[in-house]
Amino acid sequence: MARSVSELVSAANESVPKISPDEAQRLINKEDALLVDLRDPPELTPGGKLRDAVNVSRGMLEFRADRTTPYYDPAFLPDRPVILYCGSGGRAALAGKALQEMGYKTVYNLGGFKDAVEKGFPTEPA
């Protein structure tokens, strides 16, 4: 049976824990978590990105996270915590579920860029 995007995001949200900006900062500082901005490059222009985030467009995430592809990014390690965010949190949920299916053990959804900034997460130019 076909599922809507809303249903897919809802199922992903059940699997990928949402965290606060404060918890994300703690994981970055104490556990060397990888912070990933899933937005496409044009989305970064107006406000930059969260500080220390690596930008990987949602469409390239699995390729960057898989050691067997020529696009692999060595910042991605299955045992390293990964924190994902996007414009509103939907892509982060779906991406988190995909990483879990690829064997990534600790994956979190920070939600949307704007919400993180409003709650005090520092930014930097993209």
CATH for 24 = 3.40.250.10
Answer whether residue 111 is part of any domain: yes
pTM above 0.85, yes or no: yes
Query: Residue 90: which domain range?
Result: 5-121
Answer whether residue 126 is part of any domain: no
Answer whether residue 79 is part of any domain: yes
Q: How far apart are CA 72 and CA 102, in angstroms?
A: 13
Strands (E), 8-106: 34-37, 49-50, 54-55, 82-86
Sequence-separated (6 or more) residues with CB below 8 Å from residue 109:
13, 16, 17, 18, 19, 83, 84, 85, 89, 92, 93, 96
Answer whether residue 89 is part of any domain: yes
AA identity, residue 80: R
Answer whether residue 64 is part of any domain: yes
Instruction: Determine the 3-state secondary structure of 65 from DSSP.
Output: helix
How do strand 49-50 and strand 34-37 relate by DSSP bridges? unpaired
The tens place of each residue's pLDDT in the chain, 126 residues long, gives: 788 989 988 999 899 999 999 999 999 999 999 999 999 999 998 899 999 999 999 999 999 999 999 999 999 999 999 999 999 999 999 999 999 999 999 999 999 999 999 999 999 998
Domain total in the chain: 1
For residue 102, count other CB atoms closer than 10 A to its CB.
Answer: 14
